[in-house]
Structure 1
Amino acid sequence: MPHLVFAPLIPTGLLWLLAGVTLVMLGLALWRGLAGWLLRSFALGALLAALAGPSLQSEERQALSDIVLVLVDDSASQGLGERGAQSRAALQRIESRVAALENTELRVRRIGDGAENTGTLAMNAMAGLLAEVPRSRVAGVILISDGRVHDLEMRPDLPAPFHLLLTGEEQDWDRRLVVKNAPAFAIIGEEFRLELMVEDQGRVPASAPAYAELTIAVDAEEPQSYTVPVNEPLELPVTLPHGGLNVLQFEIAATPGELTARNNSAVVQINGVRDRLRVLLVSGEPHAGERVWRNLLKSDASVDLVHFTILRPPEKQDGVPVDELSLIAFPTRELFVEKIEEFDLIIFDRYRMRGILPMSYIDNVVRYIRNGGTVLVASGPEFGAVDSLYRSPLAEVLPVAPTAQVVEGGFRPKITELGQRHPVTEGLEKFAPLAAEGDEPGWGRWFRILEVEKFSGQTVMEGPDGMPLLVLDRVDEGRIAVLTSDHAWLWGRGYEGGGPQLELLRRLAHWMLKEPDLEEEALTATASGNVLTITRRTVGETPPGPVTLTAPDGSVTSHDMRQLSAGKYQLIWEAPATGLYRLDQGDLTRVIGIGPASPKEFEQTIADGTALLAPKPGASGAWGSLTRLEPGLPELRLVAQGRPASGRGWIGLTPREAYVTLELRQAALLPGWAWLMLAAGLAIAAWLIEGRRGAKR
């Protein structure tokens, strides 16, 4: 329909000023009773109207369709019970009803699980869908979901009614296992507490048991079962058994009638670290390498070092009073009887059996090794003498026997073929210094080595003519290492470029402390997202067989590993699903969790839209309407703007009547000459009337 618009020929302010002057003049004429004032007012009005530039404007419009936005929750929690069937039926009803409406179209967006276990991001999806369409055309927004949305803080402002069609059943209930505080790191051997709780949600039937069977397993060990109460916090004392990654698995038995068993398990992965490395260093006599050993151990802030040096052997008679022989007495009983188990590593540095340590104390050292302790024997020429440690009970756990032959002369330590694959010496060649012109490349030379006969253990370094230089061995639960030269200190002093003394000692200590990364035969795995990197280390010459993977659903697959270097193999595998995977290769077993054992979608499984429909901050009233799908599917109605948009068994859409202007036409109300003639005619008529009335007078 055409409508009147104005385009003034003069500034609007001046036009209003002229209109004001005109009204004052007309008022004066009326007050004085002048004849023809009415016609004069019409004339002036015509002139003002001409200056205002009136014109008729008409538009050609095209009506735009209303848009109904529907978001369908296809996350994992929607697969519980009858929720999937309820969602499909509701979507079909909406599609058929919207198709029957005139000038209305439907936009559907499906929402899956968020990346990296972020849950259902329905509000982000809603904001994205709103950004794709003009807000003036949105007649309604419908979300078909169980109401468990994990980005409520992102709720957008809506231009139309919002409706939540809630799936699920009012009688649903579920039982889940919750781990409340799981540290990423813990100290090996020190107890800490995990807080657990078996929690019931929803309408729990009276027949549900008040106790649950809780199963606990560490790594690949046999699980242990306990009966625990429901809905009560539990404190579980835990002590990590080893360094590196420790996988703790918790699971409760499924209860008949509960909604799902997906949240009945939990996996906690904790890295075990050592608080302090307690080292006992006993030097049999002062020598050039003693200070190097001490400096190396003291340079590490994580090492607690107890060091004793026997400065004066008992057989030496020089008249020095006994109370002046040392600053403190050598606490042999305290160290080798009472507190020997507290040490992580014992180093005998060129030690001789001179009667200071009784044979019973050496027996304690042997028991210490067999029970899991570690001993390093850094020997020199004394190792082949009559007072050698080999002439003590320690001989039953030593991997070598001295021949009493000492070889003097320069030689460069070498890594054996086995040592190339052993984690203690693997890759140490990269620490070799740059050789000067004319020099043989490699580490600095040593000048003395003790000839020994090896009858057990692994030789990872050798001297001249293949003589064993560093021998590693396992004894029951413990480990022992023998270094057959006392010239390692030359590396620490940088002689001829030195060598990797610090790195070698660090690796040796960590191997003796059973760090998983330095095990000769080890199967390790790390997870990044759903990509699993499996590494196998072996000192064997033959490649290991395929690795067997057992998925959370029980399916088993086997995969070959590719060789990275000598004794090191790797497999990169993309896991099809989250959960706990078991790895087996020969007699090695490892477990690792990919993603959470109980995803965010299963933390809260009972359908509930309370949080979603709560008023936004600073607003009053609910954010939208809620209709349960369990009683039946709702009807769709058209309601006017501002009217109630939902009721019993129905939800409403608001027609927006949006349009687009195709053509705009505008024509002057009268041409300029017509306005001028109209004003002139009215002025002349007023003058004639005034003239006649004056003649009569």
Structure 2
Amino acid sequence: MNAALVFDPLVPPLAIALAGGIALALCALAGWLRSPSWALRALAFAVLLLALANPALVRETRRALSDIAFVVVDQTESQSIGERAAEAKAAETDVLAQIAALNLSDPDNPIETRVVRVRNEGGPIRDPGTHLLGALSASASEVPADRIAGAVLITDGQAHDVDTMADFPGPVQGLITGARHELDRRLSVAAAPAFGIVGERASFRFTVEENGPEALLSKLGPARVTIAVDGEIVGATETAPGRETTLEVEIGHGGANIVELTLAPVDGEITLRNNRAAFTVNGVRDRLRVLLVSGEPHSGERTWRNLLKADPSVDLVHFTILRPPTKQDGTPVFELSLIAFPTRELFLEKVDEFDLIIFDRYRRRGVLPSPYIANIARYVRDGGAVLLATGPWFAGVESLYRTPLADILPVKPTSAVIEAPYLPEVTDAGDRHPVTAGLDRFNGGEAGAEPRWGRWLRQIELDRLSGEVLMTGAEEKPLLVLDRVGEGRVAVLASDHAWLWSRGFEGGGPQAELLRRLAHWLMKEPELEEEALSAVAEGARLTVTRRSVKETLEKLEIVAPSGARDVVDFTSVGPGRWRAVFEADEQGLHRLSDGVMSAIAAVGPPAPIEFERAVATGDVLAPLATATRGGITWLEDGAPDIRRVREGRAAAGRGWIGLARRGAYAVEDVRLTPLAPGWLMLVLAAGLMVAAWRVEGR
């Protein structure tokens, strides 16, 4: 039971004050005039004013409410460093046990505990940082402020939302996991290009940042950074921490070039999760240089020209042999073209500047000497590309097979020429190869059905020596054969009738698409690689795509940034295409491998906020703790004792932290007893006035 005196004025308080002032003036005047009844009149006025104030005694029946303490446990990614997670769990257990003990010793003032667990918002992959105070504010908003005894934050000190809490109604205590003298280095990419020209160098900037005691940092020396492209180390450098460094890397191929930077660890470093950084530079070719050598003018020659000239990125050099040098008309060989053709310059001195050389119905006629052709074979082994679109002469004595080029060819002519209609067909290997996969659908056909295209009328009979047969023709003889020689590539098309498709013969066919794919495969365009492994990260989901001409694949192994390994099965999604889906639970660089191909995928943000400053600190939460009379305690010094303190008093000291007594209650019953009933006050005032009149009448 609790009692209190309250006033419920019958008139506005200003009116009571004004009446009191008048009464006081009258009583003062009566006293100055030496009236014998001024005291009785003053008492009568006081009774009237009290009656107008209407005093009452309020008696409440109250029920004490428990105070509420919040225990906020940081379970974000940075808490996985070292023994922080174990320290946090032990501290949480100790805090809950001490609060339970306080409740047993003081059951009249119990503390209700609310445990709030904070994880990276949206999971560790999206990583928006540690939102400790946002979680605390959200939980505190659900209870009355006058019941909050305080909050205990068990964390490594990282909080990325300090500005979201301007005030808190109870003391905030920080229990810091980790150690005061931790050491860490972090690698971050300041700027990196999105695109680069193949064969040229692209520059990027990075910085090595370090955190820790100055006494330790001064002994570390320069930082060593290794640079790798597509998993192969291409260089290393040393740089001073805190200074931005600029380096260059060569763009070796078209498509995605994954550049990975690795910072060498130092003794005592608390984590290596932030010692790697990666970015992707999409390689684009400035110009594709193609040399087309036509053995003689023919109907299909314009098909090649139209295909290559239609691509604005292709620089075409076309060399057509108009007449053989053996023709006896006295015209010198170097004058057989409209302009003097630089044969030696093209085939001996500058052949390496071409991305592709096409021999279209070429036959030996003495124009290109054997040393020139031998140089072309060398050019292929060193990374060049050659396409042979053969004609009848490939089967005879004028065949390119009877030159040094034979050393790199995947086929051998049998000397037979098949002059009969036949339908080109894609082989099983061709169904899996990106050059011919799905080719039948480009002419209105359906996958797996008989192709809807016209027949060809001539084929040179070949024996396969190496490579892959992607298409067959008459009598199931090889029609299109692809092979890799050294660092280069070779393709042989055993017919000169592909142009019939472009002319619409018997409905035509996807001639332009076939030749485009063929030329781009030879020029090593990434989207046409038959063996490729790529990955796309969408949030935590990692979708891995594998392209291969094999019929079966090994399982995919995924190595997470922490070193944890997972194995995932591939699922076939079409001929030559497999897919695997993996849900990552770590952010950072994941390494993928199926035993043959390997790749790197970056999951999560490129610069995780959680690891921007991995060392434990109490500086971030100290201002809030001080403002609320709380404190910062390092758990490496031992768990603090928990005490109850009066509201408004200091709530932290050496070896202890406090939770405020709020004394909140709920009112279950209210009784109101008037202390100055109107009738009684009126009778009393009248009696006093009569007494004053009688005194004055004597």
The superposition leaves residues 153-194 of structure 1 with CA deviations (integer Å, 9 ceiling, x where unpaired) of 544632222222233333333455555545555444322345
In structure 2, the residue matched to 1:653 is 659
On the 8 A contact 1:582/1:589 being kept in 2, the answer is: no
Give CA deviations for 1:116-171 in whole Å, capped at 9, x if unaligned: 14443323332333234332211222222221234445446322222222333333
SS in structure 2 of the partner of residue 419 of structure 1? helix
Q: Name the counterpart of 1:202.
A: 212
Residue correspondence of structure 1 range 499-648 to structure 2 within 5 A? 499-515=509-525, 517-528=527-538, 531-540=541-550, 543-546=552-555, 561-574=570-583, 585=594, 588-593=596-601, 595=603, 601-613=610-622, 625-648=631-654
Q: Deviations over 1:448-475 (max 9, x none)?
A: 3332313333221233432433221222
Give the aligned residue type for 1:69.
F
Partner of 2:389: 378
Which is worse superposed, 562-571 or 15-24? Answer: 15-24
Any residues of structure 2 matched to 1:55-66 within 5 Å, and which? 57-66=58-67
Q: In structure 2, how many angstroms separate the alpha carbons of the residues matched to 1:505 and 1:259? A: 56
2:276 corresponds to which of 256, 266, 285? 266
Whether 2:480 is the aligned partner of 1:470: answer yes
Matched, 1:163 2:173: yes
Partner SS for 2:375: helix
SS at match of 1:337: helix
Alignment of 1:304-383 (within 5 A): 304-308=314-318, 310=320, 312-313=322-323, 329-381=340-392, 383=394
Contact 1:420-1:566 within 8 A present in 2 as well: yes
Is the Cα contact below 8 Å between 2:257 and 2:283 reproduced in 1?
no
Displacement of 1:420 in angstroms is 1.5
Which residue identity is paired with 1:73?
D
Deviation at 1:373, TM superposition (A): 0.7
Over residues 525-579 of structure 1, what are the superposed CA-to-partner deviations in whole Å (9 max), with x where a residue is unaligned? 55555555555544345x3455566666777776654444444444445567667
* SS of residue matched to 2:170: coil
Question: Structure 1 pair 48/229, CA: closer, same or farther in 2 (3 Å)?
Answer: closer
**In structure 2, the residue corresponding to 1:115 is in which secondary structure?**
coil
How far apart are the structure 2 equivalents of 1:201 and 1:482?
61
* Aligned residue number for residue 107 of structure 1: 114
* 2:182 matches 1:172: yes
Q: Deviations over 1:506-532 (max 9, x none)?
A: 432342233555344455555555555
State the shift of 1:2 in Å.
3.8
* 1:66–1:162 Cα change, 3 Å: same
The one-letter amino acid of 1:605's match is A
Is 1:662–2:668 an aligned residue pair?
yes
**Deviation for aligned residue 1:345:** 2.1
Q: 1:594 to 1:434 in 2, by over 3 A?
A: closer
2:493 corresponds in structure 1 to 483
Does the 8 Å contact 1:77/1:601 carry over to 2? yes
Q: Which amino acid is 1:454 matched to?
A: D
Partners in 1 of 2:338 and 2:48 — Cα distance? 122
Amino acid aligned to 2:378? R
Q: Matched residues in 2 for 1:200 and 1:159: separation?
A: 37
Work out which of the residue numbers 449, 454, 462 in structure 1 matches 2:458. 449
Report whether the alignment pairs 1:4 with 2:15: no
Give the AA of the match of 2:70.
L
Q: How many correspondences in the alignment?
A: 676
Matched, 1:430 2:430: no
Provide TM-score, normalisation by structure 1. Answer: 0.78
SS at 2:452 equivalent? coil
The letter of the residue matching 1:370 is R
Give percent identity, aligned residues only: 43
Output the CA distance in 2 between the equivalents of 1:601 and 1:581.
Answer: 18
- For 1:479, give the aligned amino acid: R
Work out whether residues 380 and 486 of structure 1, in 8 Å CA contact, stay in contact via their aligned partners in 2.
yes
| Conserved 8 A contact 2:265-2:275 | no
SS of the equivalent of 1:611 reads coil
Of the structure 1 ranges 166-175 and 415-424, higher mean CA displacement relative to structure 2 is found in 166-175
Deviation (angstroms), 1:282? 2.0
Contact 1:39-1:683 at 8 Å conserved across structures: no
Contact conserved, 2:395 with 2:413, CA < 8 A, in 1?
yes
Task: Sort the Cα spacing of 1:155 and 1:516 in 2 relative to 1 into closer, same or farther, 3 A.
Answer: farther
TM-score normalised over the length of structure 2? 0.78
DSSP 3-state at the match of 1:507:
helix
Deviation, 1:478, is: 1.1
Shift of 1:369: 1.0
Distance in 2, matches of 1:313 and 1:153, equals 84
Identify if the C-alpha distance between structure 1 residues 216 and 690 changes in structure 2 by more than 3 Å, giving closer, same or farther: closer
- Bigger mean CA offset, 245-254 vs 127-136: 245-254
Encode CA deviations 1:270-302: one digit per residue, 9 max, x unaligned.
Answer: 35423335131425255554444344334444x
Aligned-pair distance for 1:202?
Answer: 1.6
Q: Answer whether contact 2:94 2:639 (CA < 8 A) is retained.
A: yes
Residue 497 of structure 1: CA displacement? 5.5
- Which ranges in structure 2 are unaligned for 5 or more consecutive residues? none
CA 1:53/1:497 → structure 2, altered by over 3 Å: closer, same or farther?
farther
Distance 1:163 1:491, change over 3 A: farther
Q: Residue type matched to 1:72 in 2?
A: V
Separation (CA, whole Å) in 1 of partners of 2:182 and 2:474: 77
2:198–2:285 Cα contact (<8 Å) kept: yes
CA contact (8 A) 1:199 1:230 kept: no
Contact 1:413 1:463 in 2 (8 A): yes
SS in 2 for 1:474: strand
Check the 8 A contact 2:545/2:578 in 1, yes or no.
yes
Letter in 2 for 1:160: G
Match of 2:69 in 1: 68
Q: Which of these residues, 289, 296, 303, is aligned with residue 307 of structure 2?
A: 296
Report if aligned partners of 1:433, 1:499 keep a CA contact under 8 Å in 2: no
